[in-house]
Amino acid sequence: MRAGRITVSTRQFEVVDVPTPDAGAGQVRIKVAAAGVCLSDVHFLEGILSPGYLEGDQVTLGHEVAGVIDQVGAGVTECAVGDRVVVIAGERNAAHQITTMGFDYDGGWAIVTGKQGKEQQDAGSKDGQGDHLLAKAGSGLCRFWFGHGKGCV
Ligand SMILES: [Zn+2]
């Protein structure tokens, strides 16, 4: 898939090819239906904001994301393929530090490859292929319960 990534040391933004991720244990993969462009992203690109816990020098932007789970990893019982979710933009890392999606780990600005530009986006919405990101099940998702108005998982 193609992803909108920033190189933090230079603040260079580019759209590059990256492997489409698979959900690992305790994770779900989400087909992104919408990903916001936030002023925080602009501040990140301009160098006003920086990631606190990024491993490496590049990250895929996008911390305001909603979509549909299309793959669940081993051990995930609280979510299922087809669940519509909003991804909470932060989670704790192994050191229990609060990290931010799209800053400290990859976010939702990504598109499955195969075609280019607008045509690519249109194809994504038509054939069920879409943008993907990973999220921890259980702590990083807020599930939509349309008609019931309840529940975060
Ligand atoms: Zn934001």
In order of their start, the domains of the chain are: 2-152 (3.90.180.10)
Tell me the CA–centroid distance for residue 66 and ligand 1, in Å: 13
Res. 52: pLDDT tops 80 = yes
Tell me the CA–centroid distance for residue 46 and ligand 1, in Å: 15
pLDDT of residue 66: 85
Q: What is the mean pLDDT of residues 41-52?
A: 95
Tell me the CA–centroid distance for residue 91 and ligand 1, in Å: 15
Query: Contact at 8 Å (CB) between 74 and 21?
Result: no
Tell me the CA–centroid distance for residue 74 and ligand 1, in Å: 30
Report the alpha-carbon distance of residue 51 to residue 59 in Å, rounded: 9
Instruction: List, as ranges, residues with CB under 5 A of the ion ligand 1.
Output: 38, 40
Give the highest mean pLDDT range of 38-52, 91-105, 115-129. 38-52
Tell me the CA–centroid distance for residue 75 and ligand 1, in Å: 30
Beta strand 65-72 pairing with 84-87: antiparallel
Query: Contact at 8 Å (CB) between 100 and 63?
Result: yes
**pLDDT tens digits for range 128-145:** 334 666 766 655 565 544
Instruction: Determine if the pTM surpasses 0.85.
Output: no
